[in-house]
Structures are given as C-alpha cells and as structure tokens.
Structure 1
C-alpha cells in the first residue's frame, strides 16, 4: 500500500510538473517565435540562400572556362559574344535534411542578471530562426523524436506546436536515432551532462556517417562563477543542494573543471570531424545564427563539417 501510494504521489507530481512546464512554454513561445522570425528575416537579407554552383536546373551565372575542364561544359552561345570561353553554372538544388535539437531540460531555464535570455529561450529562438533560414534555402528540417523533417514554410509553427504537445520527460541530450548519412545535426544544449553520456550520444548520431555541430549554450555566470560568501547551489534536474561557505574559493577549481569538460567534448567531436563551439546568453542570437548557418553551408559545399574558426560568442 505504501509503495502504491508513493507511486501515485510521484505520478501526480510528474503531471503537475509537466503541466507547469507546458504552461510556461505556452506563455513564452509567442514572444520567442516573433523574435526568431525577426532575427531570421534580418539575417536572410544578407544571404543568398543556396545560390552557389552545383547540380540543378536553375541558371545562376556564367564564369570563365578553366583550362583542363571538359569542353562540353562550354556555353558556346555566350562565348561567341567576345574572345573568352564561358561555362554556364546552375544553382545548387540538392536539398539536405537538417536535424535540430534544442535541450529543454530543467537546467536550461537558468538566467542570471547579465543574460539577455535564459539558456532555454536562447536555444529555442536560435532553433526556430535556423529552421526558418534553412527552409527558405530549400532544406528540410526535423527535430529528433518530435517532428519529422519538413520543408514547409510554416516550420516554426510546426515546431512550436510539437513542443507544446510533447508530454515526454525533458532529456538533456537528444534521443537515440540513426540519421541518414547525408544529414546534418545541430544540438543546442548546456552540455553539463557527464562526458560518458555525451560520448555515447555522439557515437550513436555519427554511426551512419552523419555530421553535425554541438553548440554549448551557457549563461555568463556559468563561465565566470561570480559568487562569494555563503551560497546554496540547487541542481535543477534532481533538486539536490550543495552549500558553499565561501563560494569565491571555488572559482578557480570550477573554471578548471569547465575547461577540462570542454576539452573532452572538443576531443570527441574533432575525432568525428564534428564541430563544437560555445555561446553565452549575454551575446547576440543573430551572431550565433550566422555562425551556425555559415558553418553548415560551408560543410555542405565542401563535403566536410569541419569549421576551423571556433565561435565563442
């Protein structure tokens, strides 16, 4: 009887917690969606979608013929106008599938006074804006375990609705699935999970040959540990509490452990030719969006996801 009563209590608490999370998300989503659309609209004006040379039917541009190319590439009608040979290039039309996964676990709700948004809000804004940008460029976007890939222009609305009706536990890392080899994957999380769990996740996602980006979204306070005196730290995932008598004495060890954790993640991603980078929520969401989109387009055009310049916004 005691065990049954305890299970019932846990189920009631789980329902209340899920309902509270849903109400909070429902209240904030309209603002996040509007912000995502605003950022995507601003960024897209400086881009040209998928306009680069590749396989397709839409004309893009003429360029000079390069010695050594097959002669059948020459556009003789255009070349007849002057003394040079020209090649007719077509716009890239090979749509890819991009899986974007924002961490919506309890730890992502944290926001210090220095932050513009909570980690969750920033992850969702960038997820929505990136999806809008990719779909506008002809790509398909999906959310692992939540939404099948789509090229629908209402992709943000579909994502938001899927999240509102998602009653599963909010995991810190994406669910196990096998993406197609040509897929790209973007995971936005604080990545405070144990390195063993992150390694297992990476092994599963990359098993088919897919490539991607791990983007660590953190609060400025998680970077610098600006605490002093007696401070209680509450672990949002399980509610455990740690009390520091003089918190300022913890700063050096904390920063060193964060650096070690990141080095371990970076080592794992480098081995797989994935990208790992960090972003703090006191910086611009548009800056992060440009970085992600630029890295993905570079990897698509060159066949590798390796982007040498690390973003530390």
Structure 2
C-alpha cells in the first residue's frame, strides 16, 4: 500500500469518526437557550443579515446545494434531505450515507418545498443561489440559514471559512478544528517533502464546463488558494485571464489556452474524486495547442477535483498534488 493511499485512509477515518460520532461540538453566536424540556436554541446571523434562531445541536438538517451537503458530511452531520449529488463527486462512505436520503433540490431548479417540509427539518441550509422569495418560504418551514456563495474572485468565501461557518451553525466547531489541524499537518508535510519541486514553480488549474471552452481558475478561487498556500507561484497569465471572473473562473476558447496558461510549469486538470476527466477536458487534451503547452510537453500535469466543497475535496487535492510532484522527481 503506497503512502498516498495510507494518508487517504487516515483522512477518511477522521471523517468517518466525525460522521458517526454522537453529540455535538460547541458553537459561536448569541446564546438564546430555552428552559424546560424544549430543545436549546441560539441566535446566529446568516449572510443575508437575517438573525436566525437555530437549535444548539440540530438533528434534522436539510441542505439545498451540494457544497452544503459535503460541508455537513465533513463535519459529521448526515442530512435528512439533500441537494442532488453524483457518485463520482463523493466518497464511498458518503455515498452510502446519502443513498436513502431524499433529494429535495437540484442544481438548476428551486428546492422542492413539499419534499423539504416532509422531512420535518429543524434547520435548513440554503445558498444565495436561491431566490429570496423561495428563501422566505423555506423560513416558513424551519429555521433557514443562508450562505452567500455568489461572490466571485477575491471576494468569494473560501472553502475553509465556509466550513467554519457551517460548523458554527451546526454546533460542530470542535469537529471543524480537528479537520483543520489534520489538513494543516498534511499540508506542511507536503511542503517540507517537496520544497524543491514547489519553490519558484509556476502552476495553473484548468477544467472544462462548456463545450470547446477551457475553464481557467484564479489564484483566489478555492483550489487556487490551496495551490498557492503550498508555495507555488500562480500563473500570471491565468491571473490576468481570470481577473474579475465570476466565482474566480474564466471560460476561454480552446484557441486561447496558450495565452491563458502557457506560462505554467505545472498544470492541474479538473477531475472528479475518482480522477475521471470530463468530456470537455478530454477534448481539450486532443488539441495540438494543449499538447504544445510547456507543462504538457514536460509531462508535468496532474488532476484533482477543483471545486472544493470542504475538507474531503481539499485532502484529495493534496494527495493528487503530491502524486504529481513525486513524478517530477524522476
């Protein structure tokens, strides 16, 4: 069993322990505990500026977006209603947990209110992608906390900050601390082991969401922050291309790939959690312009899931980055 596999199993064990642990961690916010036999509550303020009275230890959480589903799972909370999810973007453990959980929201349509109400939630986690009118109706069903994920570029909430935010609402700050400590330790180990491959090396991240378009990530994106925190220099070309782009991602035609990431000495391609590439990325790989990129010609290309929803994705990225750097030693 190789070192990367062992590390992945260690991280999976930590996440599994959190998912099956009983009780809840402490949280911030304004205390508003109730007396008697009623569930204890407290008041928090969501990203819409709304004060929301939530349970101290929520038991029946509904999520209306995949990134919130992954965030809650990472913190050891199994939702009773979830946004649509794909097996390739979750671990086997999470897939088993979600297998019988009703899907109450898609990525392209508003949440199904009747399905959500049928789960008797004591907390709903929504995003700024939801219409304000819909959010108002969600609040009629149960306390609803809204996370702003619409801001792009440098203004976007980072994945780690979002995890801490969810941990506070869910009463899982201790669990978040455990995850953050393990991730930081793993990251420092990688930095120390591969300093020669990282220092002074220019990197870029590219995936594909639209036909015949490469999606170039900014340094300020969630995955860009991980790459630069390791010590990589982020591609100046990619920085210019993605400047001001929504969510820190710029879509460019295949013909512009040379002027978008041609200065990268290491290139990371977007994949799912199994390392599978999308048809758009596969099509990009078939172009001569891609094959002529310096990183490709030097065989310095890695893959990881670039949409970082939480610590599962972040740790997978570290594993894949280390695999790429190990290959560069040869």
Question: Structure 1-normalised TM-score?
Answer: 0.29
Question: Could you state the TM-score of these two structures normalised by the residue count of structure 2?
Answer: 0.28
- Name the larger-Rg structure: 1
